[in-house]
Amino acid sequence: MRPRQKLADTVLLTGATGFLGGRVLAELLATTSAKIICPVRATSQQMAADRGVATLLKALDRTPTPEESARTHWVRGDIEEHRLGFSDQTWLDICQQTTRILHCAASVRFDLPLEEAHHINVTGTEHLLDLGRVASKLNNFECFHHVSTAYSAGTASGLVDADYLPGDAAGNFRNTYERTKARAERMLRDQTDIEVAIYRPSIVGGTTDDGQTDNWNVLYAPMRMIANNQLPVMPSSGLALVDSVGVDYVARGIVELMGRDRGDYVGHHLTAGPDAFTVQQFVDLVRRICVRHDKKPSDTQLIGPARWAALTTGVSLAARAPKSAPKVRRWGRLGERGLRGFAPYAPYTGVSTRFDNRRERLMLSAAEIEMPAAIEYLETIATFAISTDFGRAPKHALDVADRHGAPIGVVA
C-alpha cells in the first residue's frame, strides 16, 4: 500500500455509488486521511445511509474498518436539485466543512435527449459549483475536481491536449453525452470564483490486474455481440482508434493528481494515448479469446462508412417488406434489433483522435501508477468478460498464464 498523502481535507464526493466513483472512494480511504461526504439519491436519510453501507462494502470488497466507516458520511442528496435537495441547515453544515469537491456523478448514456443530458451533466455541475462558491467564503476551500471525459474533444482529429474543447455545435460531437460534458467543462473553465482541476479519462473498463468489472457498457457491448455471434460486420473509418483504461488506474490517477500542486494547468488526460489499440485489433483479439474459451464468435468483418450506410438502409427496407416475403421481413427485423443495440457505439469505430497524455504519464509513473500495454489490457478485460459470460457466470479464478502469457495481438 502506498503511504498516505497529505490530503486531510473534507472531500465532497459525488457518484460514490457508481462504477468509477466507488473506486475513487476506496482510493481516498486507502491513500489519504480525508473525511468524505457522499451525497446519494434516496427518499430518506435512512435509505441514504443504507445505500452507503452497501456501497462501502462493495467498493472495498470487504467489511470496512471502524476508522473507514467513521471517515465516510452518507447524506441524502441529488445533484439535479437546487442545493442538492439539502435542508438549509444541511447545506450550511456541508458548505462549512467542505474543502474540496470531487464530482464524479454524471449520466454516461449516449442517447439521452440534449435537454435531459444537459440537466444532469451541466446543471448538476452548476449546483456543485454553487456549493463550492459558498464553501470558499466560509472556509479554506481549495479546489473543484471535476471528472469529465477525453471525448469532450468531440470529433477532433490528430493529437489533442487535455485542455482542448471544440465549439458547442452538434456536428462537433458524436452524441449528447460528449456535448454536455464539454459544456460542463467550458462552464467550469470560464468561471473565476474557485480553482478547478479537470480529469479526462477515456473509455473506462475493468481492472488492470484481472479485468474485473460489473459495468458492462461501452466496450463490452460489441464484445458481447461478437462473442454471441451477433455482429457479422462493423463499420470502421479513419484511424479507428480505441482508447481504453482501467478503472483502478483512473481512480488512483485522480487521487494522486488531487494531492499535487496544479501549477498552471487545469486538464489532465487519463488515457492510453499513443498506446491505443484499433478496432481491427479489438475484433481479432476478442474472436481469439472466444475460440480459446470454446465459443463460436462472429466472423466480424470491417466495412467502410458507405457500405455501412448501404447495409443499414437495406436492413431497414427488409424489415418493412410486405407480408408476402416473411423471410425477408424476419431477417430485416432481426437485423434492425442488432443495429439498434450497436448504434450508440458505431460512431466510436471511426475515431482519429490521439489523446496527449505525456505529462500525466510521467507524473503518475513517478508515483508507480501505470497502465499496462493497451493490447495486454484488452486481453485481460476480454478474458474476464468472456470467461464469466459477461457477469452471468459465477466468479472464479482465472488461469494466470492464460491472462498474462504472450500477447495474442500486436499494437500497430
Could you tell me if residue 86 is inside a domain? yes
Residues of the chain with pLDDT under 70: 1-8, 261-264, 394-412
Report the C-alpha gap between 383 and 82 in whole angstroms.
44
Could you tell me if residue 128 is inside a domain? yes
Q: Grid coordinates representing 79?
A: 445533484
For the stretch 348-392, pLDDT in tens is: 999 999 999 999 999 999 999 999 999 999 999 999 999 999 999
Q: Grid coordinates representing 350?
A: 471511426
Could you tell me if residue 126 is inside a domain? yes
- Domain CATH number, residue 105: 3.40.50.720
pLDDT at 398: 45
Decide: 38 and 74 in contact? Cβ < 8 Å. yes
pLDDT at 336: 93
Could you tell me if residue 131 is inside a domain? yes
Could you tell me if residue 175 is inside a domain? yes
Based on C-alpha coordinates, what's the Rg of the chain?
22
Look at the pTM and tell me if it is higher than 0.85.
yes
| Integer CA distances (angstroms), 358 to 158, 197, 268, 296, 396, in order | 15, 17, 10, 40, 37
Provide the strand spans (E) within 16-142. 35-40, 72-76, 100-103
b/e map 371-400, b = 16+ CB within 10 Å: bbebbbbbbbbbbbbbbbebeeeeeeebee
Report the C-alpha gap between 11 and 98 in whole angstroms.
6
Report the C-alpha gap between 91 and 39 in whole angstroms.
11
Could you tell me if residue 324 is inside a domain? no
- Crossing angle of helices 19-31 and 45-60, rounded to 10°: 70
pLDDT at 260: 83
In the chain, % helix, strand, coil (3-state, to 5) comes to 50, 15, 40
Report the C-alpha gap between 11 and 84 in whole angstroms.
16
Report the C-alpha gap between 336 and 349 in whole angstroms.
19
Residue 277 β-bridge partners: 242
pLDDT at 139: 87
Tell me, what DSSP letter sits at residue 123? I
Give the total number of structural domains in the chain: 1
Half-sphere CA count of 73, side-chain side, radius 13 A = 15
Could you tell me if residue 56 is inside a domain? yes
Report the C-alpha gap between 60 and 87 in whole angstroms.
30
Sign of CA dihedral 143, 147, 151, 152: negative
Decide: 11 and 141 in contact? Cβ < 8 Å. no
Tell me how crowded residue 241 is: count the other CB atoms within 10 A of its CB: 22
pLDDT at 262: 67
Report the C-alpha gap between 147 and 22 in whole angstroms.
13
Report the C-alpha gap between 370 and 66 in whole angstroms.
31
DSSP string spanning 202-252?
A: -EEES-TTT---S---TTHHHHHHHHTT--SEEE--TT-EE-EEEHHHHHH
pLDDT at 411: 27
Q: Which of 226, 228, 234 is nearest to 285 (CA)?
A: 226
Decide: 344 and 175 in contact? Cβ < 8 Å. yes
Q: Which domain holds residue 94?
A: 10-201
| Integer CA distances (angstroms), 139 to 131, 132, 136, 360, in order | 12, 10, 6, 30
pLDDT at 395: 54
Could you tell me if residue 337 is inside a domain? no
